Amino acid sequence: FCLPQVIGLFDVFTADLSLDKFHDFYLVMPFMGTDLGRLMKLQRLSEDKIQYLVYQMLKGLKDLKPGNLAINQDCELKILDFGLARQADSEMTGYVVTRWYRAPEVILSWMHYTQTVDIWSVGCIMAEMLQGKPLFKGSDHLNQLTEIMKVTGTPTQEFAAKLVSDDARGYVKSLPKVEKKDLHSVFSTTNPQAVAVLERMLLLDPESRVSAEEALMLPYFTEFREPEEETVPQQYDHSLDNTDQSLAQWKRHTFTEILTFKPVVPDSKETAL
């Protein structure tokens, strides 16, 4: 089954009648209206909207930035695509916006990633919704790290010891000592329960960050919680995706998948403006 916070696929079709002529195909998805990035530029979000949107992000957590989060008029959120938040800076040259939402361990390829790389992204997006501007707006990957550490403080020696690279450990140890900021002073006009969520998310050490399941149980989300709907999806089988096949084989496989796809009857609520 699909998580309700992940964009669905109603249908996929092609007008091409044979494999030889197969060139284009079309994906039919719910109409959402806008994305969170655009919405934040148009208006400051109310407290209840922020609560509801972050709650939905945590329910359908993957790699996130505001432009990847579609929203309809009922404030329902869908995640559009994946894979950006976990890529190292060398893979994302010039893609400045994504850097602002990436966890520090990803920016410098410090260590093996855990699912809390996504929690960091949620924390950055939540902070932006509360402040009306990005929290960590670095001009390059080192400046991004500097901006982060102005808030989180510099890494502890215990954290530095976990880094897989000798160069990374040396770099971290060379940084001037910066104390962690009290987020309640940074977000002085914000609901203290919202700040308590950020304090659990925006931690330099990924092992110390709250998990999605733990975050959903924080008091800030109590009024929206529906625990029976907080489902864990079946693990996706990547075995076919990772096989080494020729372009002709992938084309045949794609054409077959399209021809055998069973369309989903859309919920009227999903397609409403």
Which residues are the active-site residues? 63
Q: What angle do CA 265, 62, 117 make, to 5 degrees?
A: 175
Inter-CA distances, 67 with 9, 71, 105, Å:
19, 10, 22
Q: What are phi and psi of 265, to 5 degrees?
A: -75, 115
Using alpha carbons, select from 198, 230, 209 the residue that is nearest to residue 56: 230
Which of these, 95, 27, 18, lies nearest to 63 by C-alpha position?
Answer: 95
**Which residues lie across from 6 on neighbouring strands?**
79
C-alpha to C-alpha distance for 272 and 61, rounded to whole angstroms:
24
